[in-house]
Amino acid sequence: MASPFLGTIVRLDWDALWVRTWAMRQQKTRIALNGFGRIGRSILRILRGTDLPFELVLINDIQPLYTASYLFEYDSVFGRYQGDVRYENGALILDGEAIPFYHTDDLSTLDLSGVDVVLECTGLAGNRAIATRGIEAGATAVLISGPSTTADKTIVLGANDQELGDARIVSNASCTTNALAPLLRVLDKAYGVESGHMTTVHCYTGSQPTVDKPGADFARSRAAGLSMVPTTTSAQRLTDEVLPHLAGRIEARAIRVPTVSVSAIDLTVQTRASVTADAVRTHLKECATGPIIGWTEQPLVSSDLRMRPESLVLVGPELSVSVGGLLRVFGWYDNEWGFSMRMLELAARMANR
């Protein structure tokens, strides 16, 4: 029986041509995973649960193989992997398929000849020397799973993907930027964004301690599971980068909350054109497009959005316009799963240039 929730999501493509081309490709995109943490394991779970046209050539991570196998099979957020997980002879074996697993802290020492894209998920590629190691090893391109000032380009699908060009080292920005920037692009194109403020209500992450611990940021040094923590977000700087015509117009802050997955953005903007809630709701619903933005009318809570593939799922009833004309838009995003989907889609785009 079809889920009534899924029926509320509008699935139109605003970049239908490349999505269709990617899905119909006969030759698989050959990728290597460097880093097997939250994003690396999410990417592998997506690959194992779908028929997306990728070939995973190898995984590299300094953690022991038995640890990697355990953490992949038993996941506190996504649940136990519904298949057979083993390891032997330097390989992670999933459902009988062996994936070579290496343990070098220098990716350039591996042979990556024939790899289309290295998915750089170590969190260390803010350093240009580290970011280029996949290229040195023989891969065609590197896609970084986070902000990186050393990347040739920062690309957010649905926001500035037309600027990809022939960049070989690309940053996929941040999960929050992937949620915010496509929405701003739609609103600016339709109504003109004069200024705005975004607050991301973000689940806690591995950058926060489980108990109070000394740190330079006093608020971020507090126990992640016990308090709401006001803090900063890289989304403001990255949105300025991917949508430069809006640079300086959008302020952004974060509140880390004691939940383990799924986050939200609460965006308020002043538009140049006058708007009504009904008109904006109708327009955004029509623009809510399959792989990037989804739509729901349901009274959902964060756990309902776990493992959603979109960068952002807008909530229709939460949209409002104040007497003074301020537009407020609210949406959910699975900051691990949705971001990992964009990693794969952008990797395919890079390989198919």
For 240-256, what is each residue's pLDDT tens digit? 999 999 999 999 999 99
Segment 262-269 shows an average pLDDT of 98
For the ranges 16-20, 172-176, 251-255, 276-280, the lowest mean pLDDT is seen at 16-20
Segment 160-184 shows an average pLDDT of 97
State residue 27's pLDDT score: 77
Looking at per-residue confidence, does 332 or 17 come out higher?
A: 332
The 3-state secondary structure of 300-324, one letter per residue:
CCHHHHCCCCCCEEEEHHHCEECCC
Instruction: Domains for the chain: give ranges and CATH numbers.
Output: 6-173+339-351 (3.40.50.720), 176-335 (3.30.360.10)
Give the model confidence (pLDDT) of 9-39 as tens digits.
333 344 443 454 445 455 799 999 999 999 9
Q: How far is CA 32 from the centre of its chain?
A: 18
State residue 126's pLDDT score: 85
The fraction of the chain above a pLDDT of 70, given in percent, is 93
Cα–Cα distance, 327 to 313 (Å, whole number): 17
Instruction: Identify whether the C-beta of residue 334 lies closer than 8 Å to the C-beta of residue 307.
Output: yes
Annotated catalytic, 175? yes
For the ranges 24-38, 48-62, 253-267, the lowest mean pLDDT is seen at 24-38
Segment 206-225 shows an average pLDDT of 96
Burial class (CB in 10 A: 0-12, 13-18, 19+), 37: middle
Average pLDDT for the chain? 92
Looking at per-residue confidence, does 9 or 311 come out higher?
A: 311
Cα–Cα distance, 14 to 94 (Å, whole number): 35
Q: Is a pLDDT exceeding 70 seen at residue 3?
A: no
Give the model confidence (pLDDT) of 132-156 as tens digits.
999 999 999 999 999 999 999 999 9
